[in-house]
Amino acid sequence: MSSKRRWVLVALIALASVAAGCARPAGKPQGPQGASAVSLNGAGASFPYPLYSKWFSDYAKANPGVQISYQSIGSGGGIQQLKARTVDFGASDAPLSDKEAKSMPAPVVHIPTVAGAVAVAYNVPELKQPLKLDGPALAGIYAGEITRWEDPKLAALNPTEKLPDTAITVVHRSDGSGTSYLFASYLAAVSTGWASKVGAGKSVKWPAGIGAKGNEGVTGVVKQTPGAIGYVELAYATQNHLSVAVLKDGAGAFVAPTVSSTTAAAAGAAAAVQKDVRASLINSPAAGAYPIAGFTYLLVYREQSDRKKAEALARFLLWAMTEGQQQAAPLLYAPLPPAVVKMNEAAIHGLTSQGTPALPER
């Protein structure tokens, strides 16, 4: 074969390869209905981050055409980013108030994803048994009225323990936080003094202590500071081997933060949630219910501007209500009661884009 013919043959092979590559984008991730890849962006609560990070990773593996990124910046930040429309969904442990909902640029749908417990973690190596606390004592600590571990009020709750003569380092969130909302809501429910002087909210004026950012930050400070006490989502306390207090419920029993005690709180509020998805689980009267528990929510606009993203988001949310719920308990979150799952599924099918359902079929 002459060199000229060889050059022509090589050129033809190269052109054929390029044409084939253009005609068949083999391996290109596909999104809903065979469309090109879809990227969804979210931001908000650190409370459910251990679970959400697994959800988003597992969902992307099963659905390579959909990639979900998430910033764990606190509930307040997630709500603000959703309001500014810089994310496709927000995440918050504190539901929108009526005033906040009206301030959003369009109607927002609350999707409870799981329930979680806010654990009271502490670093007191001298204790042999879990610390026992009631509402007034915990409020007294966070109000700066109980400042040492040997305080008589704490000693009375823990008669078999020799509490150390150590200063209490109070740790709270420095950022707008749904975890703070749940914790402060509990203190307001059990202490009239706290309710009148501090109140509840994603951000409050803490009377005492030092601030740390995120559940991660509070966990780190408590772990590194002997004598410290702080409030964190249960998974953070467990993964970091922190001691957690048992809290006195309304019936006088001491209840530990566990999946089962969180489930009891969620189940006890199921009827109220069906009337208003924002119903509180705080200080539930249900037997065996841990008193500082709450749903965590994904917040999405009912009307989505981008159809491909709308369908991808709706399909992920339906997955979270089924396969995703099976992953909750191993990470110390309580799966949703069936009635709440059914309510969520109806809300997800109610999402729209360009005036038509986000999901083309039901």
Residues 240-287: tens digit of each pLDDT: 999 999 999 988 899 999 999 999 999 999 889 989 999 999 999 899
Helices 49-62 & 307-321 angle (0-180, nearest 10): 110
Task: Please say whether the beta carbons of 295 and 182 come within 8 A.
Answer: no
The rounded Cα 339 to chain-centroid distance in angstroms is: 20
pLDDT over threshold 70, residue 226: yes
pLDDT at 3: 43
pLDDT of residue 348: 98
pLDDT in tens, 54-96: 999 999 999 999 999 999 999 999 999 999 999 999 999 999 9
Handedness of CA 54, 201, 258, 287 (dihedral sign): negative
The amino acid at 218: V
Q: Which 8-state DSSP code applies to residue 36? A: B
Distance CA 45, CA 39 (A): 20
Instruction: For residue 89, give the amino acid letter.
Output: F
- Evaluate if residue 15 carries a pLDDT over 70: no
The whole-number pLDDT of residue 41 equals 98
- Pairwise pLDDT comparison (21 vs 32), residue with the higher score: 32
Supply the pLDDT for residue 316: 98
Take residue 74 and report the two structure tokens written for it: 């606190």
- What was the pLDDT predicted at 32? 55
pLDDT at 258: 97
Is the pLDDT reported for residue 14 higher than 90? no
| DSSP 8-class letter at 9 | H
User: Who contacts 101 (Cβ-Cβ below 8 Å, separation ≥6)?
Assistant: 107, 108
> Does residue 35 surpass a pLDDT of 60?
no
Band of residue 36 on the pLDDT scale cut at 50, 70, 90:
low
Q: Is 272 left (phi over 0), alpha (psi -120 to 50) or beta?
A: alpha
Tell me the percentage of the chain whose pLDDT exceeds 90: 86
The DSSP-derived string for 170-229 is EEEESS--HHHHHHHHHHHHH-HHHHHHT--SSS---SSSEEESHHHHHHHHHHHSTTEE
Whole-number pLDDT of residue 360: 82
CB atoms within 10 A of CB 184: 28
List the chain domain ranges.
Answer: 37-115+294-357, 117-267+281-287
Least confident of 25-34, 42-51, 77-86, 153-162: 25-34
User: Which homologous superfamily is 117-267+281-287 in?
Assistant: Periplasmic binding protein-like II (3.40.190.10)
- Rounded mean pLDDT of the chain? 90
Q: What is the mean pLDDT of residues 180-184?
A: 97
pLDDT for 31: 52
| Domain 117-267+281-287 in the same topology as domain 37-115+294-357 | yes
Q: Which two tokens stand for residue 302?
A: 């009912």
Which are the contacts of 227, defined by CB distance < 8 A and separation ≥ 6? 123, 124, 149, 164, 166, 167, 168, 169
The CATH architecture one would assign to domain 37-115+294-357 is: 3-Layer(aba) Sandwich (3.40)
The span from the first CA to the last CA of the chain, in angstroms, equals 63
Q: Which residue has the higher pLDDT, 271 or 154?
A: 154
Q: How far, in whole angstroms, is CA 174 from its chain's centroid? A: 17
pLDDT of 142: 98
- Cα–Cα distance for residue pair 207/175, rounded to 1 Å: 16
Higher-scoring residue by pLDDT: 23, 82: 82
Asked if the model's pLDDT at residue 38 lies above 90, the reply is yes
The pLDDT, as a whole number, for residue 362 is 55
DSSP reduced 3-state for 113: strand
Burial (0-12, 13-18, 19+ Cβ within 10 Å), 156: exposed
Rounded mean pLDDT of 130-142?
A: 98
**CA pair distance 215, 8, nearest whole angstrom:** 65
CB hemisphere CA count around 195 (13 angstroms): 9
Given a contact cutoff of 8 angstroms between Cβ atoms, the answer to whether 60 and 29 are in contact is: no
Q: Amino acid identity of 154?
A: L
